[in-house]
Amino acid sequence: MSPILELAGVSRHFGGLKAVANVELAVQPGEVIGLIGPNGAGKTTLVNVITGVHPATSGTVRFAGEDVTRQKPWQAARRGLARTFQIVQPFPEMTVLENVTAAALFAAGAGYGAAAEAVALEQLRFVGLAEMAGKPASALTLAMRKRLELAKGLAMRPKLLLLDEVNAGLNATEIDQALALIRAIAARGVTILIIEHLMKVVLNLCSRIVVLHHGELIASGTPQSIVRDPRVVQAYLGRRYADAAHQ
């Protein structure tokens, strides 16, 4: 099976700062991959490069077999490459339904008017926000706004969904609900790459974890192998966490 996403020697520099350095990564269809690393490791920058927010300084990004290194974000959306954002910023004066309908218009082959609205309502039902469809997005709680982000991403009919800190700021119950929702998305056949600081989430959700440190990919493997990797322990997890994870 061919990878749905391939990164070959991908780097992104901002002046003299090497935010991402020579990253090699292949993501297979149907995988749920965790992307972890310290603050400033380059995780969000890498997602921005993949989705065309920042063009790669060097290297190649391929999606579904196509070279998309120089794509724009709207082109990524049309290709089925969707993302959520760590800082959730819906259009506050628009209704919840209108927010998701706007996202649906970017999908490949999307309809307009009632067709896009029907797609949006379907995704709101899926994430449990259908009853809020007519409310302004400003009325949503943080947990609801996170679900709204997921609905917007799903309305773009993604083949690959990139999730950036979708659990940040949520309590334990809300995190468990989010995990169940992400598993349901994966069960639909959507490939997922998730940036996450909560090890509980990545260990329970992901089949593979990749680790960035100072912009470089320092490890890739199963959750069990990652928590035992000395480079990951030193750069990110710390010895106390690693010892506890082995018990």
Task: Domain of residue 142: give its range.
Answer: 92-156
Same domain (yes/no): 52, 165: yes
Same domain (yes/no): 171, 234: yes
Q: Are 47 and 33 in contact (CB under 8 A)?
A: no
Same domain (yes/no): 56, 127: no
Same domain (yes/no): 41, 152: no
What's 214's domain CATH number?
3.40.50.300
Same domain (yes/no): 10, 116: no
Same domain (yes/no): 43, 162: yes
Same domain (yes/no): 148, 164: no
Last residue of a domain, one of 111, 136, 156: 156
Same domain (yes/no): 102, 219: no
Q: How far is CA 120 from CA 96, 100, 106, 237, in A?
A: 9, 5, 12, 39
> Which pLDDT value is given to residue 247?
52
Distance CA 90, CA 93 (A): 9
On whether residue 226 sits in a domain, the answer given is yes
Helices (H), 128-238: 142-155, 172-187, 199-205, 223-226, 230-232
Q: CA nearest 225: which of 211, 214, 213?
A: 211
On whether residue 86 sits in a domain, the answer given is no
With 0.85 as the threshold, say if the pTM is over it: yes
Question: Does the CA dihedral 120-122-128-129 come out positive or negative?
Answer: positive
Same domain (yes/no): 76, 132: no
Same domain (yes/no): 239, 179: yes
> Which pLDDT value is given to residue 200?
87
On whether residue 48 sits in a domain, the answer given is yes
On whether residue 212 sits in a domain, the answer given is yes
Same domain (yes/no): 99, 220: no
> Which pLDDT value is given to residue 107?
76
Mean pLDDT by 10 residues, the chain (247 residues): 96 95 97 95 96 96 97 93 91 96 80 87 97 97 96 95 94 94 96 94 94 96 93 83 58
The number of domains in the chain is: 2
Same domain (yes/no): 21, 129: no
> Which pLDDT value is given to residue 240?
66
